[in-house]
Structure 1
């Protein structure tokens, strides 16, 4: 009888999880899609910003990356506010303010205003991604999170695939209404974000018990299984600062930082690399730049599905990071355009596909307010990599005259990340041993 009840409960949870995925993930993807579109469209404007405003490659790299400074510094405070007021309200607020500032990029007149609006844009968007990840911990059981996060990461991948060609078309509106093409680009990709923010305010439930489309039993089961049994036993401290002190949290943040140095730099400089491959049409540059988005999309669809069948997280993480090193090295040795495009795909597959794994691993020891703070802290460290990456890519291009020199940055960052993976494995093992010891102390065996 007990087995039958457990089976019925598992079936109901599975059905409720699928229902939640269909209802929640599209809304999360919509806002993250706009986030990435508004964050990276500046890459398509790089050449015209240099021509029209005199913004150099190094200045562009600094401006592209400086977005992540305010974003990073405010991640933890922002997500603590999301925990307090509810992620729905906070995510909608973020969308409305950053959409307005993204459209305001059309008023850039030189390096100073470029830097200023990029900083404000980062401040406005701070906390969006960790708030989405925090919502994942409220809705989905640990075993489902890697897959859910993979679906969320399809949004930035699709933004690269769809956004670059659309951006290329918008860039061809140069002269219409007395505006440059890049001004139309920022305006017409910033305003829809405001619309999406308004939709989220009315349509995004914060937790299962707020969803009218779930039965009471479904909502209770989702919320119960989203929080591991150990959390119910009180093994996780409610002190959010404790989450920031764990070696495993810091190490996975550093690995994520190195990943973002490679991936964000690649995303921002791919159009420039393709342009230096003797491709002149803005539309063709946009189309060929989708190679990075295609690799990213394949990675986030394939990697989490393999992860569900594996038990050794860190070994899998090491294999993916090693794949990134190899694909980047092969790119530096190739001079044939078709091969280079395929290696753009392969590099983005490994650099983007590994992202859901970072968060799924972290969520195994972060819950409640510790999840709000810890996930934001990890993202903060990673976002600093989002600043460093484009800046290093810009320096590499300025030193060599070739945008493709940035692949040396990808190789160096990935090798360092690979060296940190064994340390992460040891930290997680030590953390698990400590948790088991605490559990035995609080709940001693009743065996005689």
Structure 2
């Protein structure tokens, strides 16, 4: 996974990113200890987030949900998530990941399982809002947590594996959710109620384990030797010094929080993420119903299996793309290209008439969306000081979550108005292209404008 990179040039900054054998060894040890566990946690998180899309295959009928009301239920989750996002990240910074991340997991597991008690649209909205409030801060909190442990040269692969939890969850969650729906009538409960109950329990259990497993910082890790802690601290400090050097005489730490959050690169990153999560949310919310429309006579279990195929391909694509980004030391175009691929995929689903070709479009949209998201989160630390990252990363994610809150309702309303997914998916494709254009703007602006503030110098 990791190897020594001698004088590997970061094409975003033009700076050399040298690594030693000792640094590689420590990074491998940290990777083996943390990343797979974080992936498992994110799988539970994402499973509790997307199970609504599978529950809808029978829940919508039982609760009398239209496409619009189902979309609103998704939007309510993300609106609640947005409200609690920045406070949650600040709480993690204050209380530490070892306490705060387990709290998030246990409470969202309880809230997700409680969705089994929904009796109609209104009660479903309440339960999904509680899930959003409980889960807020998990993903940006973990992405911030990764910056405490991984140097820049390895961060794309670490964040790629973490983000890979999403397609992994869709991959096995599709078949699992389809099987749970087949439990319809067991002990007098509808299949979708069993789905919420059974898929909420692992988050609670893993949250308890996380309290004993995670460490707040490398200095707290008993599984690292004193020498390994020194090597890792020195490597991380070198990264910060490199960023400070690029900022000229004014370091990021000397700039106010507001000036960093509202600098041009950070604002453009937030707008990019808005477009990216429109695609991400559509993938997680509507794909089962799109697949069901392509094969209307298939069983719910088979719909789940087929809906998992795009995610399987995306896992392979993400693995290659994250490693390729680290080897090249390039980030921006590794976000732009897959976002454009995702847009092309959604247009294919919307406009092509043959089911097999539309399914290829789903595969392209899945690969592009997840590959872009994994690399995207390596960009933010370049434009934010260490003290500003908890708020900055959360703020970028909040803007994205606003898009995520809007996406289910927009696609749902357009579906009800037009009788199909064509208009909604066209809107998603345009959003993805607009997001890619924001990254291009960051890259293009460095050739046109002489920046004076530190964050803008980092775009050079």
Instruction: Give me the TM-score of the superposition, normalised by structure 1.
Output: 0.91
Residue 444 of structure 1 is matched in structure 2 by none
- CA drift of 1:315 comes to 3.4
Give me the CA root mean square deviation.
2.4
Q: Structure 1 232/205 Cα, relative in aligned 2: closer, same or farther at 3 Å? A: farther
Distance 2:103 2:354 in 1: 46
Deviations 1:255-287 (A, max 9, x none): 111111122012211111111122431101111
Structure-2 separation of matches of 1:193 and 1:436: 38
Q: Which runs of 5+ in 1 are unaligned?
A: 440-448
Distance verdict in 2 for CA 1:287–1:145, change over 3 Å: same
- Taking a change above 3 Å as real, the CA distance of residues 10 and 186 of structure 1, as seen in their structure-2 partners, is same
Q: Which position in structure 1 is the counterpart of 2:241?
A: 229
Residue 72 (structure 1) shift: 1.4
1:380 equivalent to 2:398? Answer yes
Bigger Cα displacement from structure 2, 206-215 vs 403-412? 403-412
Deviates more, 1:194-203 or 1:67-76: 67-76
Instruction: Work out the CA distance in 1 between the residues paired with 2:274 and 2:398.
Output: 9
Paired position in structure 1 for 2:258: 241
CA contact (8 A) 1:72 1:383 kept: yes
Which has the higher mean CA deviation after the structures are superposed, 229-238 or 316-325? Answer: 229-238
**Is residue 269–residue 403 contact of structure 1 (8 Å, CA) maintained in 2?**
no
CA distance, structure 2, for counterparts of residue 436 and residue 282 of structure 1 = 50
416-425 or 69-78: bigger deviation:
416-425
Tell me the residue number matched to 1:345.
363
Distance apart, 1:56 and its partner CA: 1.0
Deviation at 1:300, TM superposition (A): 2.4
Partner of 2:179: 169
Partner of 2:141: 131
Check 1:173–1:417 CA distance in 2 against 1; reply closer, same or farther (3 A cut).
same
Deviation, structure 1 residue 232: 7.5
Counterpart CA distance in 2 for 1:244 and 1:46 is: 38
Equivalent runs, 1:174-323 vs 2, <5 Å: 174-227=184-237, 228-230=240-242, 235-237=251-253, 239-277=256-294, 278-323=296-341
Please say if residues 276 and 402 of structure 1, whose CA atoms lie closer than 8 Å, have aligned partners that are also in contact: no
Q: Which runs of 4+ in 1 moved over 4 A?
A: 230-234, 426-433, 436-439
Q: Aligned equivalents of 2:292 and 2:23: distance in 1? A: 50
TM-score, normalising length: structure 2: 0.88
Deviation of 1:249 after TM superposition, in Å, equals 0.9
2:345 aligned with 1:327, yes or no?
yes
Distance in 2, Cα, partners of 1:83 & 1:427: 33
C-alpha distance in structure 2 between counterparts of 1:351 and 1:235, whole Å: 34
Partner of 1:153: 163
On the 8 A contact 1:69/1:387 being kept in 2, the answer is: yes
Between structures 1 and 2, the one with greater helix share: 1
| 1:122 and 2:122 are equivalent in the alignment | no
SS for the counterpart of 2:327 is: coil
Q: Determine if the alignment matches structure 1 residue 20 to structure 2 residue 37.
A: no
| Contact 1:330/1:343, CA 8 A, preserved across alignment | yes
Rate the CA distance shift 1:405–1:272 in 2: closer, same or farther, 3 A. farther
- C-alpha deviations, 1:188-244, integer Å up to 9, x for none? 000110001001000011211222211111112212322421567882226443431
Give the superposition deviation at 1:424. 2.2
Q: Give distance in 2, aligned partners of 1:349 and 1:141.
A: 26
Name the SS for the 1:308 alignment partner. helix
| Pair 1:244–1:115, CA change in 2 (3 A) | same
Structure 2, unmatched stretches of 5+, are: 1-5, 7-17
Conserved? CA contact 1:99–1:193, under 8 Å? yes
Establish whether residue 396 from structure 1 lines up as the match of residue 398 from structure 2: no
